[in-house]
Amino acid sequence: MQSHEFGFYRGILSCTYVDARTCSEALTADTGCCTRHSHRRRGSARTGDGLFSHNRAMSGTTTKPTHVMREVAYEELAGLKDRMSRYLPHSGSIYGMLDTKLRHPLVKEFSTAVYVPDSHSSSSLVVATPSCSSDLKSLTVFWWPEEEADDEDLALLLASLPSCRWDQPLFFYACSIPVLRKLESLMNHKCLAGGQTVWHRTSEGILYSISREDLQDHQLPPGFTMRPLRPEDTPTVRSWWKYNWSETYAALSSLLGCLASVGVFEEAAEGGEGDRKLVSWIHQYKNGYMGNTFTLPEYRRLGLARGATLALAREAIESGRPPYLVIDETNTGSILFHEKIGFKKQCGVGWNVSLPPGVALEDVTRAQND
């Protein structure tokens, strides 16, 4: 049984084709897809939301809003994580990345820059990059649609992201489906990348979670034991991973060595020699999601994946993390399996890719042989 969470996984004018007039014209050309709400006025920052209120004084006592994203300082992460908790489960990926940065600030492979609007104090827009260690530029983008109704503002803010060229290959990692659809619309309406890219809805699925009350007790059959995965288990895990292009060997080793995971091992026969054999596993990603669930074919239908999944979900809950995982919406077998053991649907999540015309998806998603 495999849960497909798809580990699969500055200037505004210099790196994009965006300007306010062009974006506004494009947005109003097709009001059915992308509407410019020029009348919308952002509210003032709520109490305790001071991390977004870094307005720049332009002269005297006046302050002029700008469309610029700034990087969040480490001391602001806890406050931003608390703010993102208000939008769970939709903000789950950003929330999880913030949690990982706070818990493991010194792990190089977990380095992720987090950006928020510099002057829009009440904005819910957050971007984290890189989301994974793939050579393909990866971003996790979140905003709450009800609070970000101005498409032109969104486009200008996104266009200001440092080191992000919207006309180049981009991997949108574990974003909510409404956010992905809006990004696709902005790209198609020439608000980002000048309309010079092709959007691929690469992998999309359903976010599932389980409550403490729904956790079931499960015993492994005789001859099997569980323990956390270790870096030395990387070759086995990587060799069976369909989306191993999304993480380097070193990054996957760090995931297994630093984040929560469960491996099921077949015990050596009595009197036998050699190490125990890793036969089933599940681990946490940098965004906090559980995934890459896999059982070797000859060991399936023994309840091993069930035991590993429930054990990792229990550990997540006890550690204060949401026990999230994503299942391909077409994988009915995995959906039935997880619902049977207590998981419930939350929201849609996807992994989409934007590519220049003529660039094949396979060209940027090959396994990294490092």
In the predicted model, what is the mean pLDDT of the chain?
84
Q: What is this structure's pTM?
A: 0.83
Q: Please give the pLDDT value at position 195.
A: 77
CA angle in degrees (0–180, nearest 5) for 275-279-282: 120
- Which pLDDT tens digit goes with each residue over 7-57? 333 333 333 434 444 555 544 444 334 444 433 434 433 333 444 444 333
- Which pLDDT tens digit goes with each residue over 70-83? 999 999 999 999 99
Q: Residues of CATH 3.40.630.30 domain(s) within the chain? A: 12-37+66-205+352-360, 212-347
Q: Please give the pLDDT value at position 191.
A: 83
Q: 189: pLDDT confidence band, cut at 50, 70 and 90?
A: confident
Which residues are CB-neighbours of 256 under 8 A, at least 6 positions away? Answer: 229, 230, 231, 233, 234, 237, 283
Q: 58: pLDDT confidence band, cut at 50, 70 and 90?
A: very low
Q: 1: pLDDT confidence band, cut at 50, 70 and 90?
A: very low
Which residue from 210, 209, 230, 226 is spatially nearest to 218, judged by alpha carbons? 226
User: What's 278's DSSP letter?
Assistant: E
Q: 270: pLDDT confidence band, cut at 50, 70 and 90?
A: low
Task: Give percent above pLDDT 90 in the chain.
Answer: 69
User: What's 219's DSSP letter?
Assistant: -
Q: 273: pLDDT confidence band, cut at 50, 70 and 90?
A: low
Q: 357: pLDDT confidence band, cut at 50, 70 and 90?
A: very high
Q: Please give the pLDDT value at position 269.
A: 63
Q: 67: pLDDT confidence band, cut at 50, 70 and 90?
A: confident
Q: Which of 14-28, 54-68, 85-99, 238-252 has the lowest mean pLDDT?
A: 14-28
Q: Please give the pLDDT value at position 275.
A: 65
Which residue from 286, 299, 282 is spatially nearest to 343, judged by alpha carbons? 282
Flag whether pLDDT at 338 surpasses 50.
yes
Flag whether pLDDT at 256 surpasses 60.
yes
133 CB-contact burial (10 Å; exposed 0-12 / middle 13-18 / buried 19+): buried
For residue 85, CA distances in Å to 89, 99, 116, 367 come to: 8, 11, 16, 34
Q: Please give the pLDDT value at position 59.
A: 37
Can you state the percent helix, strand and coil of the chain, rounding each to 5?
A: 35, 20, 45
Flag whether pLDDT at 6 surpasses 60.
no
As a whole number, mean pLDDT of residues 154-176 equals 94
Q: Please give the pLDDT value at position 7.
A: 36
CATH architecture for residues 12-37+66-205+352-360: 3-Layer(aba) Sandwich (3.40)
Q: Please give the pLDDT value at position 14.
A: 36
Q: Please give the pLDDT value at position 274.
A: 53
CATH architecture for residues 212-347: 3-Layer(aba) Sandwich (3.40)
Work out whether strand 170-176 and strand 138-142 pair parallel, antiparallel, or are unpaired: parallel
